[in-house]
Structure 1
């Protein structure tokens, strides 16, 4: 019997003991984090799926795993199709599937501390329409059978210097206190880990790739606060940093503290807070006011100190990438480098660049057909050599105290020239990337209104990509930060879409993926900033590109570039050379100068 089969059988036996007919297993923790600690990797333990987003539903006689377009190929390589049916979102959803499977009397369990309110409401409604019910489990049945499950990290929380944060925690809490007063609320629940980290100017190492500490918070209308964090994580430095206005309480006391808010009006963000919080507040007699977490927009709109730090981090990161790409230009064509070795070399280059605290996500190191798996995660089982005469895609980033980076480059592994199809697709992706980079738009514009700019040249060829074009990025926080994004879809799960505001940082990452052959993605980070336009009627915004790394000219078909696109290329690479050039020398500098050499204008090239 396989390990996944044995674990699935054990879970079904536990469900029977608890009187449940099914259970929903998400990738989530008590904070609705995108990346979760080892103790919360329930879906990976149960199914073998290693992606960062997905959900399984286990019933007595069937099971299914739900993933979006990023993981369509990956899930089939990691999860046994004989045990789990593959379901794609948003074409379907867990709630819809449950409704289709439900029969009168069916009791489907869920962990209220792992699911959001809107999900629970939708799933409960779909089941109720068939006479079935969604039941909060008294104990998570996966935890009951996961005998070697890790404990949450005991690592101490770390103080984030005000010089890098740009604002004191006291000032941030005072602003939230005023926000509460304006809303007529007594307190607000802050449960998203990056929100807690930003609000209190603290960081941590509790979750790989995201520098946060496991904690909850309650902030009152007078600016005072309670921080719920495990005692072993609290240092004298943290106590001194927080001061007397912040009461430090054990993380285990959070639920009981919610139950003690009887008669109070408490603001809670339904998009970033688990259902368990809503249940505890309601059971305790509090009045819940649904509102967006008040840290979200201030966190997303970076202040001058955060922007300056991000620029510094990007410059160092760019130098690390240039060292890596130079090495790859020599070693890649030998046929001896594999995906794991390339990812490790890049990690070492970042560490040598100075003050790397972690990667910002697991490096996507995809050779040939593995590059077509959008969120590919290399392992010993999938590891491929970088073959001469092929494409290689590397999506990576670093966590530095002054900034979070995220960059994708697709390169041609020589010798020889790339084929016509590869160069056509790469150039269409590049044209979309340039179009978005050059965008100027009126204040109030939504990310969805810009998404078409990046896809238009692919659409002209009858092709597309199944992921968003841009996500928000934090300041030494989450590499995927909301609410800003550039995507065809709107807010999702009932949320409203966020207009783009000065100070927001987003990725620009159009791509194209030919299943079984190769993948292409070009990603830089962009800063939203004000644009001064003579005679403008209203306020306008644009983007400043923050990432400074050469784009592979070997994959360009210059015949389909317009003069304005060539001008963007030349200006961008001149800036790359100016920023990264002083940080490298010798043969690396020589390679960089060649990589940044101007392209000829198309009209001149044809002449």
Structure 2
């Protein structure tokens, strides 16, 4: 920093693709600070270093960073511009890597630093990379075709549809930087990032449907190249900057996802820019009937694995197991059902570890299960035809009395979302409070969104749709979201119950268009923590109806012992 004449430097979690999960070569924040959460950033000055984390990671960060050198900073409560003003009261030069930040981020930061005397400096080389002696090489995972039978639409048809939209807007091309958008558009999948079947790449989609794909050519074998056809040209990543600067006409870039560096390259060339959303991001979120069919099939198989796990847990003395034993057992059961990979690192948190929202068990943190513990299991699988994500919270014996009221409130909130009907135009922000209302009534809450978008045989966390206080994107049919309210009592237990939902049309009076949800997840919800008196009649009937569906759909696929357990676990509560 001194050599670059910088007084501060931003170290984001994100890579150049703004991915939540990053390859080892791009894990700068984790390498520098020790913090491994999926969101956050650091600001390093010569005197101090702040690690900015949201409510999901307040507990985790303290166990991962060296508090003698790094200070946790609550975010978004503390804006980075406010922190930087205090850290550099006399002004200074704050550096950032323009490939790792979006135009939207940088514009917001500039606005926050107005009249502060602090100048934002885009650097040509990242100083973290300069001190990282054993930085891993970029990934070269093999790409594969995603069968059109699972995609429901050929890549050629997708490209033609999006190209027509560009022409309608008077745009000659669009720059795509999100690997899941590119993987969806080209019907390809990859292994560059663990648990997320994406091909790390950039792309330029022209208004004639041609795609210039910037990715390491070694990822593509002859068979895949033949399937992509002549209208997809694979070029080395090093050629991308020149290709951007040689574009003619008006080029579409998404200020919320594209790197600041891409904007700068086009501006230097004098190219007209249309700031607009990634053209693939909403079409990808609206699953077609074939993708929905695949998601249903994947959840059926996943339900078998989860039910077998829960039955096994009920028949095994807790003290004979550790958190890692549970992870290994579940992943083995999913392999029996045909997963390609898990969809994220399985969360298996017993007792106080369950209160760490995105807890990841390691050999050093591995806790032995204990009688009367609460065990939180959040997991999912990547199947050839779909992606799953499910959370169940299980009492190991008698549930703690302190857990019963919040567990019931969490369940009621999950049911409220599941049963909701709403007019078209309603966004996730309008629904979020439905999940929290019963916790709020007890003076409780949780520090994460209620739901995230989910891809179809793609990323388990998919934008742009969410159920969150800050999501103003209207929900549409075919979108798939998680429904996962929770409650976390530090040093005691964590509670979360999660199903995946698909947005569907709902009955309405003439002249109105209404939407609702269909539940995709098939797995019993533990009833031992429920305060039955707190459930309304409608809530109890919803739970019984859900359990009847779980029983009817899964029973034919289970062995007799697990089937008998399932019948007991789904007995009526009403």
TM-score by length of 1: 0.93
Contact 1:99-1:126 within 8 A present in 2 as well: no
Is this contact kept in 1: 2:52–2:75, CA < 8 A? yes
Aligned twin of 1:9? none
Q: Does 1:152 align with 2:126?
A: no
| Rounded Cα–Cα distance in structure 1 between residues aligned with 2:329 and 2:390 | 16
Please tell me whether the aligned partners of residues 339 and 384 of structure 1 are also in contact (alpha carbons under 8 angstroms): yes
Whether contact under 8 Å (1:371, 1:392) holds in the other structure is yes
Return the alpha-carbon distance in structure 2 between the equivalents of residues 579 and 17 of structure 1. 65
What is the 5 A alignment of 1:391-470? 391-414=374-397, 417-470=398-451
**Aligned twin of 1:360:** 343
CA distance in structure 2 between the aligned counterparts of 1:71 and 1:56, rounded to whole angstroms: 14
Which aligned pairs between 1:185-334 and structure 2 lie closer than 5 A? 185-261=171-247, 263-331=248-316, 333-334=317-318
Q: Does 1:544 align with 2:518?
A: yes
CA shift, 1:589, in A, is: 1.1
Q: Secondary structure at the match of 1:519?
A: strand
Alignment partner of 1:106 is 2:92: yes
Shift of 1:537: 3.5
Instruction: Confirm whether residue 20 of structure 1 aligns to residue 10 of structure 2.
Output: no
Cross-structure match for 1:528: 503
For residues 574-604 of structure 1, what are the alpha-carbon distances to aligned partners after superposition, in whole Å with 9 as ceiling and x for unaligned? 11011111111121111111111111x3xxx
Contact 1:410 1:552 in 2 (8 A): yes
Distance 1:337 1:94 in 2: 43
Equivalence for 1:558: 532
Deviates more, 1:388-397 or 1:87-96: 87-96
- Per the TM alignment, residue 443 of structure 1 is displaced from its structure 2 partner at its CA by 1.1
Note the residue ranges of structure 1 that are not aligned, 5 or more in a row: 1-14, 491-496, 602-607
User: CA offset at residue 536 of structure 1?
Assistant: 4.0
Deviation per residue, 1:369-403 (Å, 9 max, x gap): 11111111111221111110110001011111111
| Deviation beyond 4 Å, 4+ runs, structure 1 | none
Over aligned residue pairs, what C-alpha RMSD do you find?
1.2
Contact 1:301 1:501 in 2 (8 A): yes
Equivalent residue number for residue 6 of structure 1: none
- Ranges in structure 2 where 5+ consecutive residues have no aligned partner: none
**CA distance in 2 between partners of 1:197 and 1:568 (Å):** 37
1:142 pairs, out of 120, 128, 131, with: 128
Does 1:388 pair with 2:371?
yes
The C-alpha deviation readout for 1:487-528, integer Å capped at 9, x for no partner, is 1223xxxxxx21000000001101111111001000000010
Scaled by the length of structure 2, the TM-score of the pair is 0.98
Cα deviations across residues 199-244 of structure 1 (Å, max 9, x unaligned)?
A: 0100100001110011111011111121111111121112111111
Structure-1 separation of matches of 2:39 and 2:441? 31
Q: Structure 1 stretch 94-103 or stretch 161-170: which is displaced more?
A: 94-103
Whole-angstrom distance in 1 between the partners of 2:292 and 2:6? 51
Summarize deviations over 1:425-473 as a string: whole Å, max 9, x none. Answer: 1111111111110001111111111111111111111111111111110
After superposition, the C-alpha distances for 1:408-430 in whole angstroms (9 at most, x for unaligned) are: 0000001xx22332111111111
Aligned residues: 574
Give the aligned partner of residue 576 of structure 1: 550
Q: Give the match for residue 459 of structure 2.
A: 478
Distance 1:201 1:138 in 2: 34
- Determine if the alignment matches structure 1 residue 508 to structure 2 residue 497: no
1:77 aligns to 2:63 (yes or no): yes
Partner Cα separation in structure 2 for residue 95 and residue 146 of structure 1: 27
Give the one of 531, 541, 563 matched to 1:567. 541
Corresponding residue for residue 82 of structure 2? 96
1:103 is displaced (CA, Å) by 4.2
Contact 2:372 2:400 in 1 (8 A): no
CA distance in 2, matches of 1:536, 1:392: 47
Question: Is the CA contact 1:50–1:377 (under 8 Å) kept in the aligned structure 2?
Answer: no
Aligned partner of 2:152 in structure 1 is 166
